[in-house]
Each structure stands twice: as C-alpha cells, then as structure tokens.
Amino acid sequence: MGRCVLDTADLHGYFPRQNLYGPVLFKLNVSFLLEDDVDVWITKDNPMYWSATVPAEERYFQSVDELRANWDQYERQKKMITIRKPGRPVLFSSLEEIIVDDPRIQIYGDTHVFNEMKNALFSATENFHGIREKIIVRECGYCFCRENYLHQVSTEQSARLFLPKEHAHFPD
C-alpha cells in the first residue's frame, strides 16, 4: 500500500529557516482529498520520531471528533496528513506550485547550486505541459535560510540537495 505524508503548513515559513526536508516544496490543492477515494490520517507527532512500540492512538487522531477537540493541543510541525492510496499515486493535477529555494551559494568554485537545480527541473519538465510554469523561487523575507545554507550545510550536503544525480559534483 502506497503512502504519502504531507505537512499541514509550509514549515519554511513557519520557522525562520530552510525546510529540513529539502529545498523543493510541492504545494498541493487539498480538494482532491474530498473528491477522490483516499484514506486520510492525521498525525499527532512527526513520523520520523515514531518507534515500533508507539501505538496507533498516539500516532494518529482516531476520529474527526478527537481531531476537532484536540487540534490546537499539538504543535504545527507534528501534525501531518498521511494519505493511503492503494495502487495510485497522488497526481500532479492537484499541484498548485513547486516552490524552490535559492540559497545564493556556489560550491566547488563556480557551481551555482540554484542554477544547476533550475536547469535540471526545466529539463525534467520539458514534456509536461503546465508543470514548468508552476516552478517559482521562494521569496524569503525575515528568514535565516540563506545564512544556514552558507554556514550550516556542508558542501556535500548542498550538492546532494541541489544538484541532479548526473552532475559531475553529485556525491557518490
């Protein structure tokens, strides 16, 4: 059974830093949740912190009534939408935007990571009409993401986050 886990908010905007999941955000219109035959579960904690011993009652809200009554008792970054959709992926027809970070850094001398990522995204989407137009650069206001990319993210990690696998500097 396939699973898709989505944040309920853009955490890059919620926390004044880059999103720890990576520099690309797929913003979806959630109306497909109402129209499609999907099984939706809402987490009480981020699944990355679960162990095998955490019972389902501590992982997920068990009913709409519990969700409604307790929504504000859980931190935003802990509440995630888990979509279980057997046999079918979440389709890009629900895609509103592809938001990408521009850390404004160069690695390995003259490799501008954003330009490399943008070129790879444009190449990958050249035959998918309507997708390319949805790619936008994140406009950061009062955020520490560029500082963090420059000083807290290693060169190898930046290469892994931004460069396509075919790039000469992509880590093995």
126-151 pLDDT, tens digit per residue, is 888 788 899 999 988 788 999 999 99
With respect to residue 70, please indicate whether it lies within any of the assigned structural domains: no
Is 84 part of a structural domain of the chain? no
Q: pLDDT tens-digit profile of 9-63? A: 888 878 888 988 899 998 988 887 776 677 888 999 988 889 999 999 999 999 9
Say if 69 falls within a structural domain: no
Question: End-to-end distance of the chain based on CA atoms, in angstroms?
Answer: 30
Expressed as residue numbers, the domain containing 123 is 10-27+95-162
Q: Give the confidence band of 91 by pLDDT, cuts at 50, 70, 90.
A: low
- Tell me how many domains the chain contains: 1
Question: Six-digit token pair at 31?
Answer: 């109306």
Pairing type for strands 111-112 and 95-100 reads unpaired
**Mean predicted confidence (pLDDT) in 63-88:** 86
Instruction: Report yes or no on 67 lying in a domain.
Output: no
Q: Is residue 115 part of a domain?
A: yes
**Three-state helix/strand/coil letters over 92-147:** HHHEEEEEECCCCCEECCCEEHHHHHHHHHHHHCCCCCCCHHHEEECCCCCCCHHH
d(CA 63, CA 123): 44
Q: Are strands 24-28 and 95-100 parallel, antiparallel or unpaired?
A: antiparallel
Say if 74 falls within a structural domain: no
Q: How many Cα atoms are found within 13 Å in the side-chain-facing hemisphere of 112?
A: 6
Residue type, 112: H
